[in-house]
Structure 1
Amino acid sequence: MTSSPVRPSARALWRLLEPIHAVTYFSPEPLGALKEAGYRGFWMGYFAGRAAPLGPASAELVQALFYNFDAEHVGRALPDAWTFAPPQAALDARLRGSVATLRRVLGAGEGGAAEGVARAAELAARAALAAPLPGRPLHAANRALPVPPASEPLALLWHAATLLREHRGDGHVATLLAHGIGGRTAHVFRGLVSDTPPEVYRAARHLDDAEWADQLVVLRGRGLADAAGRLTDAGRELDRVVEATTDELAESAYDVLDDAELAQLAADLRPVAAAVVAAGEIPVKSPMGLDLTA
């Protein structure tokens, strides 16, 4: 008698899908493609690339949806980015560059990919395209984009990984908001949970020492951090609740797949994610919340 396959959790799948999506922020091919499209500097390329599914979005809309950037940071890139190149140019650049990175790190030939990659792309896309839309604005914006064909499995896989990570991210933002954790406070809270130094957030989210200290005051005021800047028991419990709720909300994206299909998806994703991480281009710790040392 054979045992039924263990159904991997949404959290386990996120840990495999996030590196695949994240090449768009850190690898040379997508960064170069955004620069060639006309965007000036890393941050203009970042905001243009991630916001492009929304159309020529305003800084206010992007700050609201991305949740954890300050207004000045976003405002230095948007809406000016759209005067250098339209959203479609950013969409083309991020997809083309991300596929080029995956092709390089996987050693896949032009126009081809291993059987496991093609199967992972098909399964991930089935989940991503059936995930619930209500309350998921960034997921919905990306889902309105054309779906790469199965004949381009690397493009389809990256697109599906992007849909699924934004679906999870939308749920995470809703959870933080429901628990009264603002976007900037969330950085400091996550930093304490994961022992990520303030320097990471200073570089990646323009969160300087003064703001870090201010957000610690907020956490102390709620009893989530102590005088020494460590999480309290209440802080650890809130982190557990936020992460568990985020995971629960993300599970709905995989309802269309049965246990065997999800187990197959996880098995096919593992070598892809491992190859991306091994390339060393994604930071070990970053504000994305995925700790590659874990």
Structure 2
Amino acid sequence: MGEAAAEAVAFKKNFDVLHALIYFAPEAQERLSAVGLEGGSMAYFASRSAAMGPVGPAVVTATFHNFNPETVARSVPRAWELATPEAILAARFAAVDDAYRRLLGEETLASAAVAEAAELAREATEGATPEGRPLYAGHAHLAWPEQPHLVLWHALTLLREYRGDAHVAALTVHGLSGLAALVTHTATGDGTAAAAVRRTRGWSDEQWDAEVAALTDDGILAADGTLTERGQDLRERVEAATNAASRGPWQHLGAEKTARLAELCRPLGRTAIKAGAIPSLKPRG
């Protein structure tokens, strides 16, 4: 495994859950509903895109990449009629605070380990640049919170969106639309269920089946729905391009500090998972 690929695996394994738990936390729905948003998809689309301002559905679709545009249009721009981006962002940070306190506990949040992790994660973001990364750039201009656990979450959010923007660019360069990206990803056999992806991203069975047929005709998918050799090569090139374009923060932080950040975040993520942060993930060991 190359250095960039190893860094990508490390992020997914050690850091990602500490950001992604906000998309599953009941506190997020509660806080966002309190400022006027309707539940479900609207809370997700509005809270993640609010850092870019009151953008239209086309911008959200483009930057999120793999959602059905019709699904996005049901939430945006109506979300901005119900609450301002500023109110939504404040509610999102409040929800993170609530969720972290429930999942990790007050004693952990006040620990030296969390303070150190926050400092290192923030330092890593200093190696990120906004060019060509709209979601990262939107979140990067927000004021840093004061509490260490919120600094940690915000830093990990920046790192995740930085990588996400790179991934969208890699998919685009390699000719994969949002739907094609989803179909080929589930075909890698990593355990992602196609039915769940269709549901959460808003694609119909007919749309999904049509994309499967097109990718089969193109020689990307085999008749049984798995990736062909050409399809496997395509996905590998996408991941390699994503990894290569996402190294800036980790190069800036350096190998020793990156390893230390992983060491600090790993038990936090495990604690969050054991507490039910992400329903689809089961505790290990």
- Corresponding residue number in structure 2 for 1:187: 182
TM (norm. structure 1) is 0.89
- Corresponding residue number in structure 2 for 1:121: 118
TM (norm. structure 2) is 0.92
- Corresponding residue number in structure 1 for 2:224: 228
Q: Distance in 2 between matches of 1:292 and 1:179?
A: 36
Q: Distance in 2 between matches of 1:253 and 1:14?
A: 15
Q: Distance in 1 between matches of 2:12 and 2:181?
A: 19
Equivalent in 166, 182, 186 of residue 171 of structure 1: 166
Equivalent in 84, 87, 104 of residue 86 of structure 1: 84
How large is the RMSD of aligned CA atoms in angstroms? 2.0
**Contact persistence 1:44–1:77 (CA under 8 A):** yes
- Corresponding residue number in structure 1 for 2:212: 216
- Corresponding residue number in structure 1 for 2:127: 130
The alpha-carbon deviation at position 283 of structure 1 amounts to 4.3
The alpha-carbon deviation at position 41 of structure 1 amounts to 1.7
Deviates more, 1:257-266 or 1:169-178: 257-266
Q: Distance in 2 between matches of 1:57 and 1:38?
A: 18
The DSSP-based 3-state class of the residue aligned with 1:132 is coil
- Corresponding residue number in structure 2 for 1:47: 45
Task: Show structure 1 runs of 5+ residues with no match.
Answer: 1-7, 286-290
The DSSP-based 3-state class of the residue aligned with 2:179 is helix
Q: Distance in 2 between matches of 1:244 and 1:264?
A: 25
The alpha-carbon deviation at position 109 of structure 1 amounts to 4.6
- Corresponding residue number in structure 1 for 2:7: 9
The DSSP-based 3-state class of the residue aligned with 1:130 is coil
**Contact persistence 2:186–2:194 (CA under 8 A):** yes
Q: Distance in 1 between matches of 2:191 and 2:233?
A: 16
Equivalent in 15, 19, 24 of residue 22 of structure 2: 24
The alpha-carbon deviation at position 280 of structure 1 amounts to 2.4
Q: Distance in 1 between matches of 2:215 and 2:207?
A: 12
The alpha-carbon deviation at position 252 of structure 1 amounts to 1.1
Deviates more, 1:45-54 or 1:243-252: 243-252
The alpha-carbon deviation at position 217 of structure 1 amounts to 1.4
The alpha-carbon deviation at position 171 of structure 1 amounts to 0.4
Task: Show structure 2 runs of 5+ residues with no match.
Answer: 1-5
Q: Distance in 1 between matches of 2:136 and 2:206?
A: 34
The alpha-carbon deviation at position 236 of structure 1 amounts to 1.5
**Contact persistence 2:103–2:277 (CA under 8 A):** no
Q: Distance in 2 between matches of 1:227 and 1:41?
A: 39
**Contact persistence 2:220–2:228 (CA under 8 A):** yes
Query: Which residue identity is paired with 2:151?
Result: L
The alpha-carbon deviation at position 27 of structure 1 amounts to 0.7
Equivalent in 143, 146, 160 of residue 146 of structure 1: 143
The alpha-carbon deviation at position 172 of structure 1 amounts to 0.3
- Corresponding residue number in structure 2 for 1:263: 259
Query: Which residue identity is paired with 1:206?
Result: G
Query: Which residue identity is paired with 1:138?
Result: L
Identical-residue share of aligned pairs (%): 38
Q: Distance in 2 between matches of 1:105 and 1:292?
A: 13
- Corresponding residue number in structure 1 for 2:3: none
**Contact persistence 2:60–2:72 (CA under 8 A):** yes
How many residues end up aligned between the 2 structures? 279
The alpha-carbon deviation at position 292 of structure 1 amounts to 9.0
- Corresponding residue number in structure 2 for 1:288: none
Query: Which residue identity is paired with 2:228?
Result: T
The DSSP-based 3-state class of the residue aligned with 2:227 is coil
- Corresponding residue number in structure 2 for 1:204: 200
Q: Distance in 2 between matches of 1:222 and 1:203?
A: 25
Q: Distance in 2 between matches of 1:221 and 1:113?
A: 56
The DSSP-based 3-state class of the residue aligned with 2:55 is coil
Q: Distance in 2 between matches of 1:185 and 1:273?
A: 31
Query: Which residue identity is paired with 1:165?
Result: R
- Corresponding residue number in structure 1 for 2:270: 274
**Contact persistence 1:23–1:30 (CA under 8 A):** no
Query: Which residue identity is paired with 2:154?
Result: H
